[in-house]
Each structure stands twice: as structure tokens, then as C-alpha cells.
Amino acid sequence: MGPRTSALSSSITTCTRPHADLTAATDDLRHRLTAVVGLTEPDAATVAAPLVRLAVIFGNRPFTLLEQARDELRVDRPAFRRLLDIFSQVPELRTAVESGPAGKYWRNTVLPLERRCAVEAALRHEPVFPRIVGLYPGLTCMFRCHFCVRVTGARYEASLLDSGTALLASVIDELPRDNPDATYLSGGLEPLTNPKVGTLASRAAARGQRVTIYTNAFALTDQTLRHQPGLWDLHAVRVSLYGLDDEEYEATTGKRKAFERVRANLRHFQKLRAERGSPVRLGMTYLVLPGRAARLLDLVDFIADLNEAAPDRPIDFLNVREDYSSRPDGALSPDERAELRDSLGRFEARALDRAPTLSIDFGYALESMRMGMDAEMIRIRPETMRPSAHPQIAVQVDLRGDVYLYREAGFPDLAGADRYIAGRIGPDTSLAEVVRNFVASGRRIAAQPGDEYFMDGFDQAVTARLNQLTTDRADGWGDARGFLR
């Protein structure tokens, strides 16, 4: 690629970002269309600007309907059809969308599921095995986080330990061998409260699964690791971090002295991991809660301090997130969002200085904010929830064998959550059968106010995509539905 071609590509691939020079991108695209696509100069001059505009629309608002986009461009259907066809011939335009402010929706969720045909199966109501299966092995949780939907004091009966773990093991045995990322261990309740969770990790690893456990790390003690050697067969340990001192932890989780214990557990795990030469990855998820936007720089210092326990095996990854629950008490105020937006650059600079190998993922909305756009997260409401859900894409299974349709529904005794149970696995009923029976029954769930809280950010993104595709098809855009595929 020569210097001129490289410059053209750069201006086009960055056209979706804030403050991009759209005039330059349009001019460069016009040259690209004549040199590579073969359009005449007058034709290229006519379509270049609307093509750039299309990239901007879907790079910032990935779930825009095609008819909405056509209306914004003010073109008729034949002209819009031609724009879609030309767009697909210019890889730089696709790159612009995928790397735009809303690119994480495309790269992390939408396109991977499209490639595996899971989205199409959900649209057609085909009874296929779920693409992703969450295993919820926890018996209880030692925390009571104010943003968590768990019913205070709710837990699974201790008598379920053996039978429930056996059920989850049977689900592992069903997982397809051609999908190494088919399962994870989470909750629901804290997975490390199950003293047999290590056997599940080993069983899944033996089937070629790259299993991540989502944990609060309170029970990630030396005793746990000695009694559950199977935890070293995990692909990754992802720790939910609820503050940076004991006061913040207590305010969030209701547990005194929890931060010091979690930090001590992490430092010990770091040392053991290095001593064993274990390949298991270690990372964290930090939820930016109201009043905590200014703490990001301290978060870097916390990670750098942990790295001192094992300089040759530093923390691998960090996921920074907003509260995806859409609950009012989890939302940041406008002033705090502005403060957060202004601090992200300093946060990245400090991370590069103090933890240079750390891989940072800002998720859906914070990625937009990082680029200078204060984009709102997708918000699914009861009226836009899909009555058939999406079991072809993801389900969750708990110790009772109940198969939940949404990730935040899998809590014992949670009011209304039982309506989102597709069925129950058992000694004579497999997960594949539960999904097949649910889909074949044509069962539809009428959402009620508050049901949207059963959905996490992933469920909301998947639902938004399915709604988009359904409407695009109804509008006559079947072969082009969803814009990027």
C-alpha cells in the first residue's frame, strides 16, 4: 500500500469518530470509488458523501433501522439499495463502523454471534443448542451489593450441592467441542461458595473449554485453592472489584473489612500463579458507581501495587463498566459523567505508565465516552423485550437445573424470575431437550414492568439486534437486514 493509498484509507476508517474531517473522508472515498470500485467520477461524487454518512450513523448507533437510515439520507429505496451494495465493496468503510464509538457492540457481541449463525437461529425460532451457556454453581453469596437483584438471605439448599453440581457437569458434557468459549462460571450467587466448582472447571477444560470464572474473590483463599486444584484449569479468573478501600466495599457490599481480604487474596493468587507458571489469566471488572468516577487513577495504582507481588506475571486485563442494569440509583449524574469523560485520558496515560501490559476494555458505552462521545447505553424496556427471548444464543443453568433465559434472572426466590425459566434439566432431561421443548412449544412471555432488570448488558444488546433485524425484514430489507453481518 503506497503513501497516498494509506492516507486515503486512514481518513475513511476514522470518519465515524468525533471531530473527524468528513469533507476529507468524502473526498478520499470518492477517489477510492473510482480507483478500486470502478465508478465514474460523477457517480463517485454523488455517492461518496451518503456512504460516509452511513458509516457515521452505524458507527455511532449500531441498532439503527435501515428505514431510519434511509430517511436520514433522504433517498428513495433503489438509491439506498445501491448505497448498501457499494458500501459492502469498500472494506475501509466497514472498518470505520467497527472501530467507531459504538464499535464494541459490533466487535464484542453482534458480529461474533452473526458469524456463528446463532442470531439467525433465534430469528427463525430454530431449536438449536445455545451458543453460550452460563453455569451458576454458587450456593450463596457473602456480599449484599446494593445494585444486585438478589433477595436478601436467599440461597440454595445445601442438600443441592451434590445433585446440582452433577447436573451442571452433565451440561458440560453436552457442550459442542467446536466451540471452546461455550461456557463460563458465574452467578447468580458467588461461584466459589460451591466447594466442588473446581471439578466443574477441570471437566470443562478436559473438553477443550476456555472457562472464565466470575468471582468477588472473597473466597479465593489459599485454603480454597488447595482444596480445589481444578481451579488452576481455568482459562481466566475475572474478579468483580467493588471499591478501593474498606469503606467503599462496605458501602457497596455490606461486608466489613472485605477489601483488605480481597486484596490479600489477589496478591497471594498472583504469587502462586507465578510460582506454578500457571497460564490462567487474572483480570478485574470495575464498575463505575455514582460517586466513584474520580477513582480511576487510584484504580491504576491498586493494580500496579498488586503487580509488585509477581512482577513477571502482572494483572492481564481490566474491564471498566458502567451499571448496565438501567436502575436509577446506578446512573451517573451529568456532572459526574463529564468528570468521568475528562478523566479517561489521564487514566489511560497512568495505566500505560504504571501497568504497561494491562489490556483495558471499556465495554459498550465507556468506549464511546473514551472517544469523546457521551453515548447512551442501549435500554430495552418491557415493551421491547422479545416474548420468545433468545435461548439459541444464551441460557443460564443453576443448581436446581433451572434454565434461565436472561442472565440477571438466575437468583433463587427472585420475584417474577420463574417466568423466565425455559425448563429444568434432570437425570433424564438434557439442556438440548429443554431448549428444544421451549422453542417447539411456541411459549411467549408477556413482559411486566421491571422485567428489564433481568437482562444484563449482553442480553440488552442481543435483544436490540434481534429487534432491529425483525423490523428490517418486515420493511423489506431481508438480505441487508442489520446493515453489517
Whether the pLDDT of residue 286 is over 60: the answer is: yes
The residue-averaged pLDDT of 423-431 equals 96
pLDDT of residue 354: 95
Residue 2 has pLDDT above 60, yes or no: no
How many whole angstroms separate alpha carbon 434 and alpha carbon 167? 13
Element (H, E) at 340: helix 334-354
Mean pLDDT of the chain: 91
Q: What is the mean pLDDT of residues 412-428?
A: 94
Q: What is the mean pLDDT of residues 312-325?
A: 85
User: What's the pLDDT tens digit per position in 193-202?
Assistant: 999 999 999 9
What is the Cα–Cα distance from 73 to 58, expressed in whole angstroms? 13
Which whole number is the average pLDDT over 315-341? 74
The larger pLDDT score, comparing residue 124 to residue 329, is at 124
pLDDT computed for residue 6 by the predictor: 55
Over 70: is that where the pLDDT of 4 sits?
no
83: its cell numbers: 448505497
**Residue range 131-174, pLDDT digits in tens:** 999 999 999 987 777 666 666 678 899 999 999 999 999 999 99
pLDDT of residue 331: 63
pLDDT of residue 406 exceeding 80? yes
Which H helix or E strand runs over 176? none
pLDDT of residue 150: 65
Q: What are phi and psi of 390, to 5 degrees?
A: -150, 60
Rounded Cα distance between 67 and 47, Å, is 18
Distance of alpha carbon 297 from alpha carbon 179, whole angstroms: 37
The mean per-residue pLDDT over the stretch 338-359 comes to 89
Range with top average pLDDT, 35-44, 331-340, 423-432: 423-432
Task: Please tell me the number of Cα atoms within 13 Å of 385 on its side-chain side.
Answer: 22
pTM of the model: 0.93
- Listed residue (456, 457, 445, 485) closest to 469, CA to CA: 485
Q: What whole-number distance in Å separates Cα of residue 468 and Cα of residue 359?
A: 31
Percentage of residues of the chain with pLDDT beyond 90: 78
Q: What pLDDT, on a 0 to 100 scale, did the predictor assign at position 328?
A: 58
The DSSP H or E segment spanning 318 is: strand 317-321
| Separation of alpha carbons 287 and 281, rounded Å | 20
Neighbour-count burial of 381, counting CB atoms closer than 10 A to its CB (0-12 exposed, 13-18 middle, 19+ buried): exposed
